[in-house]
Structures are given as structure tokens and as C-alpha cells.
Amino acid sequence: MPVRSGWLSPDGQSREDTRLVSLGALTPTSPVATRSGVLPGSSDGASRISGFTLTGTANSMSATVSPGRAVLQSTDARGAYPVALTEYLPVTFADGNAQYTRIDLLVLRIYDDAYDGLGRTEAVVEIVPGTPAAAPTVPAAPGLSLPLYEVTVPANASAGTGGIAWASALLGRRTATVGVGGILPVTTDTSNGAYPGQYRDLGGVIQRWSGTAWADYQPPLVVETTNTGVTAQGNWSLSWFGARRTRGVCSFTVGLTRLTSALTATAAGTTNPGNVGDELICTLPAGWRPVVESYASASDGYADGAVRIAADGSVQLITWSTSGVIQVGNVLRFSACFVL
């Protein structure tokens, strides 16, 4: 039998069994209990869980279960049973009822005669048959079992009538378990966390257990600040610079003082009213520059205009109020916010 379990056989276990089912500490559900589930992962990294995948054979009642590893938790006193399926395992579902549809349940199950008195001591993959009905329900999972799939078997289904429509018949029930401290992949899990600070991946969203509820995880907010690195250009001197950045967004304010000669914008009625010759006024430090060219409003308290902020950090005054004059000693101020 390719389904193996460690610490179960009354005759002892082989070294091979021990290697295959060695799992270590898994996701806790109590100080001594482990969450039952399939260990996640796939050979190509494309699937959350590939172990114990059920794949149907077209036009038949048969399917195969893929290799995988799992753990089944019993009572605290009995402990957890590690299980490994090392080969593809064929399973066959009974033909459909003549009148009604039924839902079967495919499970991974532990038999332990020392506790259940059923005369078997082994791990198995088995089919729990449902009851045919006009509105069929899923049968209850046996004790110490892990549901893998619900399989809908239509009325009159058989190999001779086309078998099971596998594409629509399967409903996955596998749950995952991971090493303690690992991020648990889940899809519709409603169970509580085991300890504050436990993490899970719910459909691509990282969540953290607070001790009372799962909440989408937001990493601690890191805000960087600086007031250095701006280089004034030409007939300007730096009065101040203050910048903040966090999570890829930057905002800053710059003040520049006009030095030795006033700057006058062209008058209304001219070819380019408000033109100031795209004067370079400063350069922003690396790491605090926009990825693409950006624009911002500017003012000296008497008139206003606009600046262009290039990806290389250069800042140019590109327009000003028509006939407006930036006098010597006036402070030009501008602010911007952009994605780095």
C-alpha cells in the first residue's frame, strides 16, 4: 500500500517510513495539538496544494490521487498521525443510482485498532458514499479523517454512459498545514488562529491573527525624511528643503531666495506672455526625484507660476504671472508629491 503513516503500525516502522513521514512541529491548534491538513507546495511552484489531488479519467468512474504528505490530528492524548502517499493511487466510484444523484466524499483516513477497535491499523484513501436523493447532501466525514474532495455522481452514471463529468463534479475540500511560524495558505478557512502573530495567506492577502480576529496585515509604516541634498542653481540660494518618503511616495517643499538681479516675466500681449526662459533653479537629490517629468505650482507671495521637475532631478521655473517680477530677496516656494 503506497499510503504510509509513522508511529502507527504495532509491528514498528521501517527507516523508510520514518524518513517519509518526518514532519516536525506544524501549525498548532493547542499547546499539544496540530492542525490537520496537507502540506502545501508543488513541483513547479504553481499550485498551493498539489498533494492528494484527484484527477478523473475521462468517460469513466475512475480517478487517481497524486502523491503528497499530510498530518491528521486526533485527540490531544493520541497525538497527530503523519501520512505520506508515495505513488499515484487509483480509486473507483460506484455507479450512479437509477433515479437520484448522490455526493461521495473522498477522505484520507487513519485506522488505529488500539483506539477505534475496527481491526485495522493503517492509513488509507477511501470513498465515503453519499445517499442518493433529490437534493443530495455530503456524507459526514468518519472520525480521524481528512476530507479531500466532494464528488457528485449523477443518476445512472457508469462507464457505459460516459462516467462522471469530472470537470464539474469535483469540489476541493483539502486544507493545508505548515511548519509552526510558516504562512498558512487558505482559501475559505474560517478557523481561529492559534497564537497572536500567526500569519496566513487568504487568497493572496496576508493576514495576521491578533488574538481575537484575522486582520489584513499592514507592515510597519516607515517614513524617511531629509532636509539636505538640494543644490541651488544660477541666481538662487537655498532657503530650505524638507522631504518625506514612504512606500514609494515622496513629497517635498523647497524655498529658494532670488540673489542679485530681479527676474521679470514677459508681458501680456507678447508672443509668450509669462515666459521666464525655463530658468534652472535647483537640482533635487537622487532618490527623491520623480520617475517621469512632473509639474508643480510655485509662488513668492506676490505672484505665482509653475516649475517643471525632470527625472534627473533638475527643476526649472517655466512660467510666471505676466509682467510679474521676482525681486531680489524674494523667496520662491513650491511643493510636489509623486510616486518614486
Sign of CA dihedral 155, 156, 159, 162: negative
| pLDDT confidence of residue 282 | 98
| pLDDT confidence of residue 8 | 80
| pLDDT confidence of residue 38 | 96
- What value does the mean pLDDT take over residues 126-137? 98
Q: Is 25 helix (H, G, I), strand (E, B) or coil?
A: coil
Cα angle, residue 48 at apex, residues 20 and 137 outer, rounded to 5°: 95
Distance CA 256, CA 334 (A): 9
What CA–CA distances, in Å, run from 24 to 19, 166, 182, 292, 317? 11, 36, 12, 51, 65
pLDDT digits (tens, 9 = 90+) for 41-90: 998 899 999 999 999 999 999 999 999 999 999 988 888 899 999 999 99
Confidence class for position 20, pLDDT limits 50, 70, 90: low
Contacts of 296 by beta carbon, 8 Å cutoff, 6+ apart? 306, 307, 309, 334, 335, 336
| pLDDT confidence of residue 315 | 98
| Length in residues, the chain | 340
| pLDDT confidence of residue 252 | 98
Using left for φ > 0, alpha for ψ between -120 and 50, and beta otherwise, residue 37 falls in left
Q: Quick check: 1 pLDDT over 70?
A: no
Backbone angles phi, psi at 20, to 5 degrees: -70, -35
Write down all domains in the chain, each with its CATH number in brackets: 3-178 (no CATH), 181-218 (no CATH), 224-339 (2.60.40.1830)
Q: Quick check: 22 pLDDT over 70?
A: no
pLDDT digits (tens, 9 = 90+) for 224-233: 999 999 999 9
- What value does the mean pLDDT take over residues 246-257? 97
pLDDT digits (tens, 9 = 90+) for 141-198: 999 999 999 999 999 999 999 999 999 999 999 999 999 899 999 988 888 999 999 9
- What value does the mean pLDDT take over residues 301-307? 97
Which helix or strand (DSSP H or E) is residue 107 part of?
A: strand 102-112
Distance CA 294, CA 311 (A): 8
Q: Quick check: 108 pLDDT over 90?
A: yes
Q: Quick check: 21 pLDDT over 90?
A: no
Distance CA 212, CA 196 (A): 8
Distance CA 147, CA 109 (A): 9
Q: What is the CA radius of gyration of the chain?
A: 35
| pLDDT confidence of residue 138 | 98
Distance of CA 1 to the CA centre of its chain: 37
Q: Quick check: 244 pLDDT over 70?
A: yes
For the question of whether the overall pTM of this predicted structure is more than 0.75, the answer is no
Top pLDDT among 22 and 36 is at 36
pLDDT digits (tens, 9 = 90+) for 199-217: 999 989 999 999 999 999 9
User: How many CB atoms within 10 Å of residue 336?
Assistant: 20
Mean per-residue pLDDT over the chain, rounded: 93
Distance of CA 279 to the CA centre of its chain: 48
